[in-house]
Amino acid sequence: MESLQGKIVVVTGASRGLGLELARRFALEGCRVAMAARDQRTLADAAAKIADSGGRTLPFACDVKRKEEVEKLAQRVMTVWGSVQILINNAGIARAMRFIDMPDELWHETLAVNLTGAYNCCKVFLPAMVQSQWGRIINIASTTAKVGYPYVSAYTASKHGLLGLTRALALETAQAGVTVNAICPGYVDDERTRENAETMAKKTGKTVHEIVNLFAGSAPQHRLIAPVEVASLAVLIASEQLGGMTGQAINVDGGAVMV
């Protein structure tokens, strides 16, 4: 996508899994990609892999729950490259647990990362987009943003909230050259899905392989979603080709949820 050449992108939760693939994919398009995550060592290794392939990356340790850390990230990117033009809110946590058994701390932590973290990033990076009359915000939500799932009440609530934020910001920025959209993946073939499968396997007595097959079987295509499928859609949404699309939530889930 020639329109993305040289664009400045921030990807949160970029040290592994889907976040790493998002960063890699935008770097392949010629973007300058600031990669944010909490684990500095893992993040640096991930950024180095992309840089080895010719991508321009800037790793920066950042906990999106803390607005002051997001502000430091913005300052660093501004110093090195300039104002952020594309924001990918990918950082998130998803831990499976029955609502009755869930400690309050898990509820607060999940909303703080998945919803407040996205709020903090939008709050910090959106003003410059509006000022320049061009910007893209892509929130990585989930099919749980549209329908309920058992044993992930905190995650489901946070993603419903993220979808609401997406739609509200899309309306507020519709005439400012900024688009705000969400991608709603189903079960992605990454570390997060495998970690949840391990947790459920311990509680149910099933094997991890059996649990992963249950996840895959929830979609008509009977498979998990490859991270590159989500990342490729994000690139398209960020491009000029879809400049007229805003406030949308696109499912990439093998047909599991058709709303």
Enzyme catalytic residues? 155
User: And the tokens for 210?
Assistant: 């059996």
Inter-residue contact 246 to 170 (CB < 8 Å): yes
Both tokens assigned to 68:
């002051």
Distance CA 8, CA 6 (A): 6
Within the chain, residue ranges assigned H as helices are 17-28, 40-52, 67-80, 104-111, 117-132, 153-172, 191-204, 208-217, 227-238
Alpha carbon of residue 180 to chain centroid: 13
- Residues with Cβ within 8 Å of 72's Cβ and at least 6 positions away in sequence, in order, are 60, 62
90: which residues sit within 8 A by CB, 6+ positions away? 11, 12, 13, 14, 18, 19, 22, 140
Residues 6+ apart with CB under 8 A from 163: 139, 141, 145, 146, 182, 184, 249
